[in-house]
Structure 1
Amino acid sequence: MSAAAKRVAASSLNWAKVGEKLTSVHASDLGRLRGQNSTFTAQVDQLPADLPKVDFAALKKALPTHAATIDSLQKQYEAVKIPYGEVPKEYLDEIKQWQEYNETRIRLHEMKVADGLEQAKKVEAKWKSAPPVEHFDRQHFAEYFPQHFYDLRYQERIPDPCSIGLNETDAFQQRFSDYKVLRRPDKVDDH
């Protein structure tokens, strides 16, 4: 194995762990990414660890008039150092922020799932205690379907037979809470 391949192998990705964290929707994307990584790794394996050696002395003999230029090129070529695995700090900070954002999203999703499970348990408990639908009477409809059937004896609702949304806000209850509000001042209260 070449030195370049050893460097890449030292920082290889655990594909099984990544596959566990992704949903089945992203399986094709993970397969495509894994294929691209394999192609890249194969190309890196074929490359030598260091830059190829150039015989600058032979070049100077072949091109004596350009000796100064070849000297300059030799200094530049030998000064080239390509570090491996150094990611700029601003990119690392951006990755860290992205990870924190995704972890927060995951925690929020887990909280929503837990709340949904609690609500589902309440609904299941409600319907387990319900009598069979064939035995429902008017009181049961108001208890189990309060959005469609209401009992004005204990619910502060306005009859809304056309379902136009009178009970979605409390504007009607506030406006008509005092029955004297709409009386005209010239009317005399004589009864």
Structure 2
Amino acid sequence: MAAKRISQSAINWAQLAERVPEHQKVIFSAFKAKSDGYMRRVTAFPETAPKIDWAFYKNKVPVAGMVDEFQKQYEALSIPYPPNPLTSQLDSLEKEIQNDVNKFKTESNGRIEQYKKQLAHLASLIPYDQMTMEDYRDAFPEESLNPLEKPSFWPHLPEDQLGYQDKDVPTDSGH
């Protein structure tokens, strides 16, 4: 089974270069130079082995049958293309990663929509430097102080409030 000859790189170097961090640009350039050098060396050779003029050698070589034997061996020579057992693994890994990427994109788009709503809400508010305490209470009811329904004492931390019990300290069972 003859494989198709590679005549150009399948890598989109410009797109890949956009993703390379600044501190790795030198390493990337060296890698690209090696790849380009390899591709130039491969394409410098002909795709097929050179044709041999067997009739010329049959007339020049005095040993009978020697050229015929060489011709038979040369034409029987077949260098197999190395097998690639990793392509299927890489394809399945690529599909898994693509699924993860698509899931992340979907989740990110959901977060973006939430953040856009939050930004729209914040943009609709009075600027903080112009807000009164009542304006703040109306804008953020869950964060504002409500002395009638849930009184709070300065510095308004949970451990400074009436009835606070530390979860880490065991309660006394009457001893």
TM range (shorter): 0.5 to 0.7
- Counterpart CA distance in 1 for 2:136 and 2:90 is 54
Q: Name the structure 1 match of 2:57.
A: none
Deviation at 1:127, TM superposition (A): 1.5
User: Would you say 1:26 and 2:20 are equivalent positions?
Assistant: yes
Instruction: Specify the code of the residue in structure 2 equivalent to 1:126.
Output: H
Q: Name the structure 2 match of 1:109.
A: 104
User: Would you say 1:161 and 2:155 are equivalent positions?
Assistant: yes
- Counterpart CA distance in 1 for 2:158 and 2:115 is 28
Deviation at 1:45, TM superposition (A): 2.7
Q: Which of 134, 146, 154 is matched with 1:151 structurally?
A: 146
Q: Which of 136, 140, 146 is matched with 1:141 structurally?
A: 136
Consecutive unaligned residues of structure 1, counting only runs of 5 or more, are 1-5, 54-60, 62-70, 173-181, 186-191
Deviation at 1:161, TM superposition (A): 2.8
Q: Name the count of aligned residue pairs.
A: 150
TM-aligned CA distance change 1:23 to 1:121, over 3 Å: farther
- Counterpart CA distance in 2 for 1:8 and 1:150 is 71
Q: CA RMSD in A?
A: 4.9
> Matched residues, percent identical?
15
Q: Deviations over 1:125-172 (max 9, x none)?
A: 21222123243222333433845x4436567x9768354689xxxx97
* Higher relative helix content: 1
Q: 1:37-76 maps to which residues of 2 (within 5 A)?
A: 37-49=35-47
